[in-house]
Amino acid sequence: MSLKNPVALEFLQLRRSRPAKTLIEPAPTRDQLLPLLTAAARSPDHGKLEPWRFIVLNKGAMPRLAQLTEECGSALGKSAEDIAKARSQFDMGHLAVAVIEVQKPSAKIPAIEQTYSAGAVCLALLNAALAAGWGANWLSGWQTHDRDFCQKAFALQENERVAGLVHIATEGKAPPERPRPDVDGLTQWVSE
Ligand SMILES: Cc1cc2nc3c(=O)[nH]c(=O)nc-3n(C[C@H](O)[C@H](O)[C@H](O)COP(=O)(O)O)c2cc1C
């Protein structure tokens, strides 16, 4: 083994998200966010296609996104409860990074691998934010899968979709531990 980093390993073994609704001000500045985006962009990417990009949503963008969630929810016939829950991430949001999956034409790299890479970017951004001491949470919501919302909110093209909205701000209160998977039960060891 060439590179030992027990601190990083312990971080990965103990890390956990901080629910978006518990996050408080301040959110990272542009200068504080850039190193986190740089870490996230250093994610596995078969063929170096860079099948993702970032849209940083500052506090000032939140009312527009909440209102748009309301309008798209009504158009879809969503219940008042579904709409209120979906818009709450913007009503209470301080800063979120929309990780946008950008499907690139490739004869070699299947579309699903580009999707996996975009998911990896979301996790890498989440972990970078947590490692830097921020509270962070990877959210979606029905609106992030609605083309109308995505087009009006982020002007996404046909080959683009939201992989995740990673909220980043200051931890308000530490959440209780969440039951974790039984790794033994999930793991098959193959020796021949
Ligand atoms: C693609 C994706 C979308 C998610 N969307 C939501 C969401 O909209 N609302 C929510 O409460 N949790 C959502 N989660 C779950 C949280 O991000 C997270 O897994 C959970 O809070 C536990 O976090 P931890 O395992 O990092 O502690 C989503 C997770 C993934 C992978």
Q: What is the pLDDT of residues 18-37, one digit of tens each?
A: 999 999 999 999 999 999 99
Of 127, 138, 139, 125, the residue nearest 14 (C-alpha): 127
Residue 162 lies in a domain: yes
In the chain, the amino acid numbered 83 is I
The Cα 167–Cα 17 span in angstroms is 10
For position 121, what pLDDT does the model report?
99
Percentage of residues of the chain with pLDDT beyond 90: 97
CA 47 – ligand 1 centroid, Å? 28
For position 8, what pLDDT does the model report?
97
71 pLDDT above the threshold of 90: yes
SS (H, E, C) 169-182: EEECCCCCCCCCCC
For position 174, what pLDDT does the model report?
87
Give the Å distances, CA to CA, from 25 to 33, 34, 36, 68, 97.
Answer: 14, 18, 18, 24, 16
Residue 93 lies in a domain: yes
CA 150 – ligand 1 centroid, Å? 19
Q: Comparing 52 with 177, which gets the higher pLDDT?
A: 52
Residues 6+ apart with CB under 8 A from 143: 68, 69, 72, 73, 86, 149, 153
179 pLDDT above the threshold of 80: yes
Residue 185 lies in a domain: no
Residue 13 lies in a domain: no
* CATH code, domain carrying 159: 3.40.109.10
Residue whose CB lies within 8 A of the most ligand 1 atoms, among 85, 88, 137, for a mutation test:
137
Domain span at 51? 31-172
- Model confidence at 1, in pLDDT bands (50, 70, 90)? low
Q: What is the pLDDT of residues 97-125, one digit of tens each?
A: 999 999 999 999 999 999 999 999 999 99
For position 116, what pLDDT does the model report?
98
Q: Residue 98 is encoded by which pair of tokens?
A: 């929309």
Residue 136 lies in a domain: yes
For position 2, what pLDDT does the model report?
73
Residue 187 lies in a domain: no
For position 125, what pLDDT does the model report?
99
Give the Å distances, CA to CA, from 39 to 72, 94, 188.
Answer: 33, 21, 31
Any known ligand binding at 147? Answer: no
Q: What is the pLDDT of residues 139-174, one digit of tens each?
A: 999 999 999 999 999 999 999 999 999 999 999 988
